[in-house]
Amino acid sequence: MANRILYNIAFAPPEDRVQEYQEFLENVKRADTEVKVVALERTSLGLNFRYYLALVLPDILHIIKKAEQEGYDAAIIGCFNDPGLQVAKEMANIVVTAPAEASLHIAATLGQKFSIIVGEADSIPPVMENVISYGLKDKLASFRSIGLRASELRKDEEETAHRIRQAAREALEQDLAEVIILGCTVLYGFSREIQKNLGVPVIDPVVAAFKYAELLIELKKRFHWWHSERVGFEHPPKDRILT
Amino acid sequence: MANRILYNIAFAPPEDRVQEYQEFLENVKRADTEVKVVALERTSLGLNFRYYLALVLPDILHIIKKAEQEGYDAAIIGCFNDPGLQVAKEMANIVVTAPAEASLHIAATLGQKFSIIVGEADSIPPVMENVISYGLKDKLASFRSIGLRASELRKDEEETAHRIRQAAREALEQDLAEVIILGCTVLYGFSREIQKNLGVPVIDPVVAAFKYAELLIELKKRFHWWHSERVGFEHPPKDRILT
Amino acid sequence: MANRILYNIAFAPPEDRVQEYQEFLENVKRADTEVKVVALERTSLGLNFRYYLALVLPDILHIIKKAEQEGYDAAIIGCFNDPGLQVAKEMANIVVTAPAEASLHIAATLGQKFSIIVGEADSIPPVMENVISYGLKDKLASFRSIGLRASELRKDEEETAHRIRQAAREALEQDLAEVIILGCTVLYGFSREIQKNLGVPVIDPVVAAFKYAELLIELKKRFHWWHSERVGFEHPPKDRILT
Amino acid sequence: MANRILYNIAFAPPEDRVQEYQEFLENVKRADTEVKVVALERTSLGLNFRYYLALVLPDILHIIKKAEQEGYDAAIIGCFNDPGLQVAKEMANIVVTAPAEASLHIAATLGQKFSIIVGEADSIPPVMENVISYGLKDKLASFRSIGLRASELRKDEEETAHRIRQAAREALEQDLAEVIILGCTVLYGFSREIQKNLGVPVIDPVVAAFKYAELLIELKKRFHWWHSERVGFEHPPKDRILT
Amino acid sequence: MANRILYNIAFAPPEDRVQEYQEFLENVKRADTEVKVVALERTSLGLNFRYYLALVLPDILHIIKKAEQEGYDAAIIGCFNDPGLQVAKEMANIVVTAPAEASLHIAATLGQKFSIIVGEADSIPPVMENVISYGLKDKLASFRSIGLRASELRKDEEETAHRIRQAAREALEQDLAEVIILGCTVLYGFSREIQKNLGVPVIDPVVAAFKYAELLIELKKRFHWWHSERVGFEHPPKDRILT
Amino acid sequence: MANRILYNIAFAPPEDRVQEYQEFLENVKRADTEVKVVALERTSLGLNFRYYLALVLPDILHIIKKAEQEGYDAAIIGCFNDPGLQVAKEMANIVVTAPAEASLHIAATLGQKFSIIVGEADSIPPVMENVISYGLKDKLASFRSIGLRASELRKDEEETAHRIRQAAREALEQDLAEVIILGCTVLYGFSREIQKNLGVPVIDPVVAAFKYAELLIELKKRFHWWHSERVGFEHPPKDRILT
């Protein structure tokens, strides 16, 4: 039976973007996986602001809970800040993963140090919190910013790619990075050309999240390995439920 | 003019508890401070579960925003997990503080190492995340659990005090702690007797938060020092606002 | 076309063991993967001693180089010390992974803290070196030893399982681990029963390495992501080759 | 009854400086606080050299002991190196605090990362030792030096302010600091204008120490919280006293 | 020409102790070294209290300065807290070393982890500060206390040796230490027997300091390597001298 | 009886180099030490590549084992990567040391922070691994590369010295280093002139290793202190020997 993955764009993207993600992921998935892309109805691009995240977090969780009820095997929280990933693992009974989690673990396997290319410097603190929380801060060579807001990243794709190459080269030469991570899901699809140019792995966070989800589904279905329900991820007991 | 502080019990406590907090804080405040205690209307005791927190976080923020509009100088988020403290600092224009933040800084000043007494072991991970986030993990001697849920802490106060003394003594002798922090706001009022017994500072997190709020108000009013609005606490710009 | 993976038992196991591994992995692999198990011809069980490792390391590398020439897509270095993994990544043109690398990344995804169950305490330092090298020391709750040499682990399997359960329970309760890793490849196959008993993920390092190899092959074939050849993994240039 | 605080300029300042400090602090104190400024009789400006500190340390301690006998509630050791703070806490029975301790805790509350502006680079190591000792190294964005000795800082105040603004801007933009600390007590009074210019909190270390002292006095008088007398701050027992 | 080393017992020992140290060190020194032991005239045994140290520090420095004038090549500060070592390096023009510095570097060479056996638990914080300051905290397996004051360590030497063996065995087995350091200079001479019994290196801090001093003298005389006079150890310039 | 030390150039140097090392070390050794220099027969200059190291490691160990049989007291592994040092300590019964181990401990004694000057940036990761493994990462100010391969370092010695001085000055001024380590054994003999020029200790790694070996021999012969044989350095037991 096919594995079913829901990719939730965890913000409200420009029109047509949902369809573009859908097509992109059709080319990323394994043959026996089904993918469906959905988006939030409210919030601007990007969740760097904790306040926006606080407001849409119940929506994100609701989508995951609904995916679980509809029989999905996994839900991906599609934003590089991995918004709500820990809480989703706590309350969901399906696999949940997110772009930074997946990208960081893959990058840490492919090289000794990775650098993360972000749009703007103000994205760094929340991502850094996750790097620390995932236990991988010793593998981080650097952050490098390209000075573009999330909403500007796809306006002039040549310019965006140019800036990424430049930032990545600085990361490779000055910070001794061995792997580059594109630190924003809006940059899906950029890695292939840049990778050819640089000669090092350039991780596409949307692809990484998707392949990681497929791995985790397989581990769950065949070996019953999945998010621990103890201590940090203990599921809320029924007698403490909100009314 | 009096300083006005709102203490928000960040969960739904048993009846009468709001009034008890109010009376407790009347005896804690400076003469020129006014205090008002409010509580959340929904959620069980304790916010160890991220899921509950995600659901009530908008309520917590709403209360702070309203306090701001009503002219309060500071709002205290009354739970030792400091739920939503970072996001509140990001969006509020008044002072915001919380019990763990205040207790940790005060304890780090009064001794070289502190131990935190918690109700149950599953409270440790979220508090530990804050200890790390506040940059004070090198001052932590240990966590010690007394094996009681938040809802049980005030059922048999003798028993609770007994367990705290025992856990604190182990922290002092085995972990070389010099200061004890009571790691749950439900324990307000317990510190005085225990402190006499142990001979070391025993920090009451509700008192700590309150005195810290008074300090921060004074620093803001007189020296214009308050939560930075840059990078990690940058306020959401209007053109990115949710609709 | 099928993916071909070579599993190299990186020591000389008792007779029949190669066949047992082969059968075990036939049940672990994806349908479109082919697996072949080989073993070293010399060395006793276990590579805790650096001296043994130094002596057999050229053999391990030779097997990988040969696998590359025979068209394998990946080679697994089958010992929880991951002997020679970094050097193999440096010189090989196929995917190389190993049990600890794979187990640690998977465990770090499934829980906030993991504990590693080892046979003897003297296995801890070399594994700890890898935990640090992989950048995951902040996710380690503890090591727990069961007091059995690698060569004794399958003599009385009931006793071994009993000791693992006991050590794992201590890790869960005292060290607040959320995931258990079996820290020796000789323990392949033990995880399923123990996991049922404990109610948390118990990672089988042989399975973990195999599924991780499949993931890495897919990432390499479809997205050209693989071991960076820069800085730490730079391939030896021809003009510096040994003669 | 008024709280009485002794501010000890922990070096021998130019003439008139004592009076200037006195006037400055009259504008900083709470209404119900009395302040008295004294200075050391020997030592040049600055205690960066450990040797000078070793020679004047008994003087510093003597002043504190005398303040205690004269009924002061707190003594402030007025140098950003916090010279002798730990030993003073160990032997004094009144509150003791110092500029770096106070500034660092306040700054860590107001932002996620702070930078410290120092006169000369050779001030960095002793301050860094304190940052580590206070457990706050993870909150440090950077040190920035303005290339002026302590004795030069008030010669051309325009130039000094200009260099601080420049160094602070680099800290904000390149090091992602959110709060600026002026890392020398000689810079008292500079923060207000610079803060207006930069739009982030700029901590005046003399003010910080004073307000922190007031807080600690209140915590001691009303809640009996003060420097732990255990382990690291254990008071010397009588039977081990020097003769 | 002989190398001359002054060993300064950095406290006031019981009568006859100076002569015993002298004889002990005659058997430790190289043939071409001359040794002289002196003691402080005031202070009780042990410098755990910072207050005592502050009072006697000028005496310690004075002895070193005098040794320099008398043509000694090195001075050893004979207390495991290494009191005043950093300041002595800053102001002296001869080699200065101390027991903990020497013991820690030697132990870190002889094994991957060392444990330090101390008399009382309250000795741990100041020694820990030095372990951190010397950059070797990652090599520390543990502290173990034997529950005896410095003044009691030589009262019943059998009992002391017994407790050390017991504490050391716990360090070896539970903390995985590979080397044992005797963390008090009063324990000079105990290591030989204990070492035979335990089968691991047991570092005598007095011997370690002495041999390290001989090494540093040779490095200084022959290769002009000695305490850097930059940044952290910059010598006080004449124009800033106290008057 | 004379102490005998074997210095093993752990690569195949240009002709005449063995004799040059021999003469250099004749001027470094103590009067009562005998030195013999040998070289590997195969491998190019430098062991940055793990693959080369894996291939020659058995040769390095064989030389040490033979030195032991021939009655040497110590063997030095002459390459700044300290190739095989841990494994040699595990299996040898004589003293073994190496340039980075010795240089780092000496440098950490002579200053608070040291910088390491390397030929090329790709030497940094393996050296960094050792800095971490020796527990001294907190003492590292920086690496600085001079952009020359090991084989180029002695081609134009003026140019090499010029680049080292330049890199060292940057380390002193920008990174606040207090001591400089020459991070390649090929640079033996360069330190004296550079040190005069810079005014700080400049550690020659060949000299450092040699003097450290002499110290360790003395500690072993007179105090029976030498490489622990427990846990991390446990010697392989006979019943687990390779056949």
Nearest to F113 by CA among F174, F167, F163, F162: F174
Task: Examine chains E and F and say if they touch (3+ CB pairs below 8 A).
Answer: yes
Instruction: Report the mean per-residue pLDDT for chain D.
Output: 91
CB-based contact E110 F227, cutoff 8 Å? yes
Q: Where are the domains of chain D?
A: 3-98+207-240, 100-205
Q: Say yes or no: do domains B3-98+207-240 and B100-205 share a fold.
A: yes
What secondary structure, in 3-state letters, does chain E show?
A: CCEEEEEEECCCCCCCHHHHHHHHHHCCCCCCEEEEEEECCCCCCCCCCHHHHHHHHHHHHHHHHHHHHCCCCEEEEECCCCCCHHHHHHHCCCEEECHHHHHHHHHHHHCCCEEEEECCHHHHHHHHHHHHHCCCHHHEEEEEECCCCHHHCCCCHHHHHHHHHHHHHHHHHHCCCCEEEECCHHHCCCHHHHHHHHCCCEECHHHHHHHHHHHHHHHHHHHCCCCCCCHHHCCCCHHHCCC
What ipTM was assigned to the predicted interfaces of this complex?
A: 0.94
Nearest to D105 by CA among B107, E231, C158, A201: B107
Q: Is D2 helix (H, G, I), strand (E, B) or coil?
A: coil
Rounded CA-CA distance E205/D12 in Å is 40
Amino acid type, E31: A
Q: Which residues of A25-55 are buried (b: 16+ CB within 10 A; e: fewer)?
A: beebbbeebebebbbbeebbbbbbbbbbbbb
Residue found under tokens 């964005």 = D141
CA-CA distances (angstroms) from residue F20 to B238, D119, F36, F38, F186?
A: 72, 48, 12, 11, 11
**Rg, Å, chain D Cα set:** 17
Answer whether A179's CB lies under 8 Å from A110's CB: yes
Chain B, nearest residue to D140 by Cα: B135
Question: What pLDDT does residue C103 have?
Answer: 98
Nearest to B85 by CA among B180, B205, B224, B186: B205
Chain C residues within 8 Å of chain F (Cβ atoms): 42-46, 49-58, 61, 84, 86-87, 90-91, 121-122, 124-126, 129, 132-133, 231-232, 234, 236, 240-243
Strand partners, E75: E6, E96
Model confidence at F236, pLDDT cuts 50, 70, 90, reads low
- Please tell me the distance in Å from E12's CA to the nearest CA on chain B: 28
Q: Is D97 helix (H, G, I), strand (E, B) or coil?
A: strand
Answer whether F75's CB lies under 8 Å from F5's CB: yes
- Please tell me the distance in Å from A52's CA to the nearest CA on chain C: 26
Specify the long-range contacts of residues C98-101, CB closer than 8 Å, at least 24 apart. Answer: C98/C209, C99/C185, C99/C205, C99/C206, C99/C208, C99/C209, C100/C127, C100/C130, C100/C131, C100/C134, C100/C183, C100/C205, C101/A109, C101/C130, C101/C134, C101/C209, C101/C212
Residue numbers in A near B121 (CB within 8 A): 231
Cβ-Cβ pairs closer than 8 A, D with F, add up to 4
Q: Which two tokens stand for residue F148?
A: 């020359």
Question: What pLDDT does residue B16 have?
Answer: 87
Question: What pLDDT does residue F240 have?
Answer: 47
Burial of F31 (0-12, 13-18, 19+ CB in 10 A): exposed
Question: What pLDDT does residue E192 have?
Answer: 94
Q: In percent, how much of chain C has pLDDT > 70?
A: 92
Residue numbers in F near E136 (CB within 8 A): 135-136
Chains with 3+ CB–CB pairs under 8 A to A are B, C, D, F
Rounded CA-CA distance A150/B241 in Å is 14
Question: What pLDDT does residue A122 have?
Answer: 84
CB-based contact D112 A125, cutoff 8 Å? yes
Question: What pLDDT does residue B243 have?
Answer: 38
Task: Examine chains C and F and say if they touch (3+ CB pairs below 8 A).
Answer: yes
CB-based contact D111 B233, cutoff 8 Å? yes
CB-based contact B224 D201, cutoff 8 Å? yes
Q: Give Cα B29 to chain centroid, integer Å.
A: 15
Question: What pLDDT does residue F235 have?
Answer: 67
Task: Examine chains C and A and say if they touch (3+ CB pairs below 8 A).
Answer: yes
Rounded CA-CA distance C48/F236 in Å is 9
Q: Is the pLDDT of residue A47 over 80?
A: no
Chain B residues within 8 Å of chain C (Cβ atoms): 121, 124-125
Chain F, nearest residue to E217 by Cα: F211
Rounded CA-CA distance D124/F112 in Å is 12
Chains with 3+ CB–CB pairs under 8 A to D are A, B, E, F
Rounded CA-CA distance B209/A198 in Å is 52
Sign, Cα dihedral of D68, D74, D76, D82: positive
Rounded mean pLDDT of B88-108?
96
Strand partners, D6: D36, D75
Rounded mean pLDDT of F82-103?
94
**pLDDT, tens digit, for every residue of B179-221?**
999 999 999 999 999 999 999 999 999 999 999 999 999 999 9
Question: What pLDDT does residue C235 have?
Answer: 67
CATH architecture of A3-98+207-240: 3-Layer(aba) Sandwich (3.40)
Non-local CB neighbours of C158 within 8 Å, separated by 6+ positions:
none
Q: Is the pLDDT of residue E48 over 80?
A: no
CB-based contact F243 C121, cutoff 8 Å? no
Strand partners, A35: A5
- Please tell me the distance in Å from C136's CA to the nearest CA on chain B: 16
Rounded mean pLDDT of F182-200?
95
Chain D, nearest residue to B114 by Cα: D228
Chains with 3+ CB–CB pairs under 8 A to B are A, C, D, E
Rounded mean pLDDT of D31-59?
82
Q: Is the pLDDT of residue A45 over 80?
A: no
Rounded CA-CA distance F233/F86 in Å is 8
More confident residue, E179 or B125: E179
Q: Which two tokens stand for residue E198?
A: 């335990």
Rounded CA-CA distance D209/A190 in Å is 52
Q: How many residues does chain B have?
A: 243
Q: Is B237 helix (H, G, I), strand (E, B) or coil?
A: coil
Q: Which two tokens stand for residue F42?
A: 């195969």
Residues F79, F83, F85: CA angle, nearest 5 degrees:
110
Residue found under tokens 């003044």 = E151
Q: How many residues does chain A have?
A: 243
Question: What pLDDT does residue C47 have?
Answer: 60
**pLDDT, tens digit, for every residue of A122-167?**
889 889 999 999 999 999 999 999 999 888 999 999 999 999 999 9
CB-based contact F112 D124, cutoff 8 Å? no
Task: Examine chains B and A and say if they touch (3+ CB pairs below 8 A).
Answer: yes
Q: Is the pLDDT of residue C26 over 50?
A: yes
- Compare CB distances from F232 to E178, E229, E231 and report the shortest one's residue: E178
Rounded CA-CA distance E86/D129 in Å is 12
**pLDDT, tens digit, for every residue of F209-234?**
999 999 999 999 999 998 887 766 66
Q: Which two tokens stand for residue E233?
A: 């150890």
Q: Give Cα F187 to chain centroid, integer Å.
A: 11
CB-based contact B57 A52, cutoff 8 Å? no
CB-based contact A178 C231, cutoff 8 Å? yes
**The CATH number of domain A100-205, selected from 3.40.50.1950, 3.40.50.12500, 1.10.10.10, 3.30.930.10:** 3.40.50.12500
| Longest Cα–Cα distance in chain E | 57
Residues E58, E61, E64: CA angle, nearest 5 degrees:
150
**pLDDT, tens digit, for every residue of A68-81?**
999 999 999 999 99
Rounded CA-CA distance B212/B215 in Å is 5
Question: What pLDDT does residue A227 have?
Answer: 85
**Rg, Å, chain B Cα set:** 17
| Longest Cα–Cα distance in chain A | 57
E runs forming strands in D26-178: 33-39, 74-78, 95-97, 114-118, 140-145
Q: Is the pLDDT of residue E23 over 60?
A: yes
Q: How many residues does chain C have?
A: 243
Rounded mean pLDDT of E77-103?
95
Cβ-Cβ pairs closer than 8 A, B with C, add up to 4
Residue numbers in B near A61 (CB within 8 A): 51, 54
Residue numbers in B near A145 (CB within 8 A): none
